[in-house]
């Protein structure tokens, strides 16, 4: 028999004893005396245990509990800034999620011309331009190539609009919900590009979607031959319609917009195409007022998802601080958490597996003493990049900026436990 009270540090024991004193009520003696499991159930057998439940496959493709009906994608609190809901966003409910996987039904959306309903038997991928053998591929063709699967986050470069004065009412779904993470399966793009024979003079690749916006982006050829995927599955099953069914480009670590959905065309060329989405949109405004294009990689970033805006700490005592961190450059190596507005920082535990260009879940035990607190997290990635403060970020970018906000997120805890967005 293994001895089982080893490996508990004093501080951890203290924390858990504290948790136990809060969590759970002492059991009445009459209940504790129930002996046999099936013939003498403890008193208070619930109603749902007193008759048979639902059959298997109710339904064949399962759905969440009706008690979780509030866990859905949402538009931003206070209304959508977009002119139509076909060229708009929906946000992942990070405050309700656990671990690193986003279930497919809750993956964020950003569409420019709505979600097309594509028959995979009719879909084609065209590859042309500076290639030796221009080709058209069916989905059956794509599925014949050797495949790979990898866990990667996707983040819209418009995620987190904290450039201006923070709106205290926003939740983490509002501020950071253009962020999701799935296991993606597809064909390494390099394999298919080798098959068509990319010419030496090719330096850029145009990717075009089969949506009504014909969404197009210019991609550096190095990325196409690095870790790019022609993805057809997410979290085990085929892509969801709103994630590009039946085929999308997947560029790990790049701004989400470049992972072109409903992918129908790749063209190899010598220079970028200067499409709408890389001229009037998805560019940076620098402090001198100049505009910088082709800022692809999502920088080191993190956010505390619990506690977060709109939640309320029920009472002083133990609370786990938990959140997610990510970097488009590779692995997250460190997440620090402050509960006093950045005065003191503690290293959070990084939960395994820690994978490159993937969400990493971090956790830190915390004893809330009551009274105001300011909660912040700060990520570092394997390149040594450290998530900046808002002040530091605004020195690098003009305040009229819109994309690639990756500054530290702060949540204000009030004396009554209410949590609000502090930007």
The CB-of-284 to its own copies minimum distance in angstroms stands at 23
Contacts of its own copies in 168-187 (CB under 8 A):
182-185
Binding pattern to its own copies, positions 6-45, x when CB under 8 A? --x------xxx-xx-xxxxxx---xx-x-xxx--xx---
Residue 330 touching its own copies (CB under 8 A):
no
Which one of 14, 77, 167, 195 is in contact with its own copies (CB under 8 A)? 195
Do 233 and 184 touch, CB atoms closer than 8 A? yes
**Residue 123 vs 329, nearer CB to its own copies:** 123
Calculate the alpha carbon distances from 41 to 29, 34, 36, 47, 49 in Å: 14, 7, 7, 13, 11
Residues with Cβ within 8 Å of residue 82, at least 6 apart in sequence: 88, 89
Residue 147 touching its own copies (CB under 8 A):
yes
Question: Beta strands of 214-314 (E only): which ranges?
Answer: 216-220, 229-234, 237-238, 248-250, 263-269, 284-285, 291-292, 301-306
Stretch that binds its own copies, among 156-164, 165-173, 217-225, 390-398 (CB under 8 A): 217-225
Binding pattern to its own copies, positions 61-80, x when CB under 8 A? xxxxxxxx--xxxxx-----
**Residue 107 vs 397, nearer CB to its own copies:** 107
Stretch that binds its own copies, among 141-149, 156-164, 286-294, 339-347 (CB under 8 A): 141-149
Contacts of its own copies in 270-289 (CB under 8 A):
273, 275-276
The CB-of-353 to its own copies minimum distance in angstroms stands at 5
Contacts of its own copies in 356-385 (CB under 8 A):
361, 363, 365
Q: What is the token pair recorded at 99?
A: 């671990």
Residue 148 touching its own copies (CB under 8 A):
yes
**Residue 348 vs 373, nearer CB to its own copies:** 348
Which one of 9, 10, 54, 280 is in contact with its own copies (CB under 8 A)? 54
Q: Long-range contacts for 189-195 (Cβ within 8 Å, ≥24 apart)?
A: 189/224, 189/225, 189/228, 189/229, 189/230, 189/249, 190/224, 190/225, 190/226, 190/228, 191/145, 191/146, 192/127, 192/137, 192/142, 192/145, 192/230, 193/127, 193/131, 193/224, 193/225, 193/268, 195/133, 195/135
The CB-of-100 to its own copies minimum distance in angstroms stands at 7
At 219 the three-state DSSP class reads strand
């Amino acid at each position: 028999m293994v001895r089982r009270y080893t490996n508990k540090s004093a501080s951890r024991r203290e924390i858990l004893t504290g948790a136990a004193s809060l969590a759970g009520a002492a059991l009445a003696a009459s209940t504790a005396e129930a002996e046999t499991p099936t013939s003498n159930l403890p008193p208070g057998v619930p109603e749902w245990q007193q008759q048979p439940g639902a059959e298997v496959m109710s339904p064949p493709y399962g759905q969440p509990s009706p008690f979780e009906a509030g866990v859905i994608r949402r538009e931003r609190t206070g209304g959508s800034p977009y002119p139509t809901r076909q060229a708009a966003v929906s946000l992942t409910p990070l405050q309700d999620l656990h671990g690193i996987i986003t279930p497919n039904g809750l993956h964020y959306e950003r569409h420019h011309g709505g979600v097309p309903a594509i028959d995979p038997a009719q879909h084609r991928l065209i590859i042309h331009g500076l290639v030796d053998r221009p080709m058209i591929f069916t989905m059956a063709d794509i599925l014949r190539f050797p495949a790979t699967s990898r866990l990667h986050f996707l983040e819209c470069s418009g995620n987190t609009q904290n450039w201006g004065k923070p709106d205290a009412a926003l939740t983490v779904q509002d501020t950071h919900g253009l962020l999701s993470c799935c296991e993606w399966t597809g064909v390494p793009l390099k394999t298919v590009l080798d098959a068509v024979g990319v010419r030496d003079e090719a330096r850029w690749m145009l990717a075009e979607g089969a949506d009504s916006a014909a969404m197009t982006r210019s991609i550096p050829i190095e990325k196409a031959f690095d870790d790019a995927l022609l993805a057809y599955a997410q979290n085990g099953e085929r892509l969801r319609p709103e994630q590009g069914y039946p085929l999308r480009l997947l560029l790990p670590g790049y701004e989400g917009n470049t992972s072109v959905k409903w992918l129908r065309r790749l063209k190899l060329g010598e220079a970028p195409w200067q499409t709408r989405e890389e001229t009037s949109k998805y560019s940076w405004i620098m402090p001198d007022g100049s505009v910088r294009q082709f800022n692809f990689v999502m920088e080191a970033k993190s956010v505390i998802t619990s506690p977060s805006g709109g939640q309320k700490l029920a009472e002083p005592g133990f609370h786990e601080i938990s959140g997610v961190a990510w970097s488009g450059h590779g692995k997250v190596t460190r997440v620090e958490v402050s509960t006093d507005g950045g005065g003191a920082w503690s290293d959070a535990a990084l939960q395994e597996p820690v994978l490159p260009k993937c969400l990493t879940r971090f956790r830190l035990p915390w004893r809330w003493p009551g009274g105001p607190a300011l909660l912040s997290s700060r990520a570092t990635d394997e390149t040594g990049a450290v998530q900046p403060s808002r002040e530091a970020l605004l020195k690098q970018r003009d305040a009229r900026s819109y994309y690639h906000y990756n500054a530290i997120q702060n949540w204000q805890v009030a004396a009554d436990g209410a949590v609000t967005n502090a930007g």
